[in-house]
Amino acid sequence: MANFTKATGIKDWLNQRLAIEKVEKVIASEYWIPKNINFLWAMGMILVFTFKMLLISGIFLMMYYQPSVEQAFDSVNYTIMREVDFGWLWRHVHAVASSVTFLIMYIHMFTGIYYGSYKKGREMIWISGMLLFITFSAAAFSGYMLPWGQMSYWAGMVITNIFSLGGLHMDGLVEWIRGDYVPAQAFLTRFYMLHVLLLPLAIIGLMGLHFAALRIPHVNNQDGEEIDFDAEAKKYLDGDKKGSKVMRFANDFLSKDMMVLGIFLIFFFYLVFFNYGFALDPVNMDKADGLITPKHIYPEWYFLWSYEILRPFSTNVGLIAFGFAQVIYLFLPWLDRSSNAVAASRRGKFKIWFWVLLIDMIVLTAMGKLPPEGIFSTIGLVAALVFIALWIILPFITMNEKKV
């Protein structure tokens, strides 16, 4: 049996049983972060915050929301918005936080791509991050069903129809997912379950994996410098804090993180209080009706780019292109053949590739919002083809990249 002695205080008592000092060192004071980073390294902590906001506002929404096709719409638009004191606050926080989560997730992702933070032992960080993106997408979609407005219903119809897999006509699978011929009660209740239980559980698990994946390779730095963390940590602990290339996660790095978070919070609550409209589609303020399609169905802004890859093609080709767009980011660590884990600005052709990809994503997003007519469908088609071409040429342009 382990040797327990009479505790000298509460801390010592806990220490003997839970090794709290050691745990604190591992996750905070002796978890080493490079010094040469910038504000883009704070996005992860902002995402932790937005997830926390989603969780807290979601808990309050759940107390009045009714997952039934008759009552769902009124429980959101009347009970929560008008009757419950501060009900509007939870709804606005929830809607804005989900939208902003995607904004920050895209910044986080493209920071990773720009600095090559997905290679040399950091592959699992990238993969767990992309899995988080996929689960967050599923959570956003399932949550979008819950107010049971027109956009909820028709987005549910269109997205579940994707599972018939075009020419394969797997209508049985679609009916199984819905539990009905069309989105109805069974559909609403199971998506409610996914949204409030299964997907949040998966997200929390994946967040654990994402942090754990960071532990051994450590975070990248903006110069792509390979740091000997053990040696630098020793230097720091021996008193040469200035000469060491690393700092403690807490409180050194965290203080900078909190500074960025503070600025973000001002932006976030500005949106919540004064500019929440972008996250609440006016079409969804009409109750779901299976006999009237809204004039123009479009997803929330964060799905527009992949929607636009689906749209300009015939069904089967569109589905293949869409499937390609959904999974291709996962394979980035292997499609990028260069071993340079440095900023894109120092990587020649990759630099051009990065900016073209980013601009293409923005063009796809803009076209996805516009009606599929005339010049817009042509631009959309070209942008979709560019997206696919970019990923196909990536291995070839990085294969012979000079070592920096």
Partner 1 sequence: MHNNSRRGFMGKAFGAVAGVGVLGSLVAMKKSWDPLPSVRAAGFTTLDMSIYKEGELITEQWRGKPVFVLKKTAEMIEKQTESQEKRDIIINGSHFMVAIGLCTHLGCIPAYKVDEEEFLCACHGGKFDWSGEVTLLPPPRALDIPPFKIEGNNMILGEIGPEFKAMKDSGITL
Q: In sequence order, what DSSP letters do the residues of 64-75 get, joined into one string?
A: T---STTTHHHI
Q: How many CB atoms lie within 10 A of CB 176?
A: 12
For 388, phi and psi rounded to 5 degrees?
A: -65, -45
* C-alpha–C-alpha distance, residues 246 and 286, integer Å: 55
Q: How far is the CB of 309 from partner 1 (least distance, A)?
A: 12
Mark the segment that binds partner 1 (CB under 8 A) among 70-78, 89-97, 339-347, 371-379.
371-379
By CB under 8 A, name the one of 55, 56, 158, 385 that touches partner 1. 158
Measured at the alpha carbon of residue 225, what is the angle toward residues 237 and 217, in degrees to the nearest 5? 70
Smaller CB separation from partner 1, 162 or 328? 162
Q: Which of 94, 195, 311, 347 binds partner 1 (CB under 8 A)?
A: 311
- Nearby residues of 191 by Cβ (< 8 Å), 6 or more positions away: 142, 145, 146, 156
297 binds partner 1 (CB under 8 A): yes
Interface with partner 1 includes 181 (CB under 8 A)? yes
215, with CB counted inside 10 A (0-12, 13-18, 19+), is exposed
Instruction: Pick the binder of partner 1 from 66, 161, 189, 222 (CB under 8 A).
Output: 161
381 contributes a contact to partner 1 by CB under 8 A = no
Stretch that binds partner 1, among 118-126, 178-186, 218-226, 268-276 (CB under 8 A): 178-186
Considering only 64, 229, 301, 313, the residue that binds partner 1 (CB under 8 A) is 313
Question: 266-278 b/e with 16+ CB inside 10 Å = b?
Answer: eebeebbeeebee
Closer by beta carbon to partner 1, 194 or else 246: 194
Among the listed ranges 84-92, 182-190, 209-217, 224-232, the one in contact with partner 1 (CB under 8 A) is 182-190
Task: List the one residue from 315, 320, 328, 370 that touches partner 1 (CB under 8 A).
Answer: 315
Q: Quick one: 186 or 399, whose CB is closer to partner 1?
A: 186
Which one-letter DSSP state was computed for residue 85?
T
Q: How far is the CB of 146 from partner 1 (least distance, A)?
A: 19
Quick check: helix, strand or coil at residue 248?
A: strand
Q: How far apart are alpha carbons 41 and 49 in whole angstroms?
A: 14
DSSP state letters, 3-44: -----SSHHHHHHHHH-HHHHHIIIIIT-EEESS--GGGGHH
- Nearest CA to 64 out of 147, 176, 155 is that of 147
Cα three-residue angle 29-33-38, rounded to 5 degrees: 130
| Contact status: 277 vs partner 1 (CB under 8 A) | no
User: Shortest Cβ distance from residue 389 to partner 1 (Å)?
Assistant: 21
Residues 183-212 that bind partner 1 (CB under 8 A): 184, 186, 190
- Return the range that interacts with partner 1 (CB under 8 A); candidates 101-109, 198-206, 311-319, 330-338: 311-319
Q: Of the ranges 165-173, 331-339, 354-362, 395-403, which one interacts with partner 1 (CB under 8 A)?
A: 165-173
Residue of the chain from 1, 2, 266, 291 that contacts partner 1 (CB under 8 A): 291
Window of 58-66, 194-202, 258-266, 314-322 that interacts with partner 1 by CB under 8 A: 314-322
Q: Which is nearer to partner 1, 150 or 244 (CB)?
A: 150
- Enumerate the β-bridge partners of residue 34: 246
- Residues in contact with 7: Cβ distance below 8 Å, sequence separation at least 6, in sequence order: 13, 16
Question: What does the alpha-carbon distance between residue 237 and residue 248 come to, in Å, rounded to a whole number?
Answer: 10
Confirm or reject binding of residue 283 to partner 1 (CB under 8 A).
no
Q: What is the contact surface with partner 1 in residues (CB under 8 A)?
A: 154, 157-158, 161-162, 166-167, 169, 175-182, 184, 186, 190, 290-297, 311, 313-316, 318, 371-373, 377
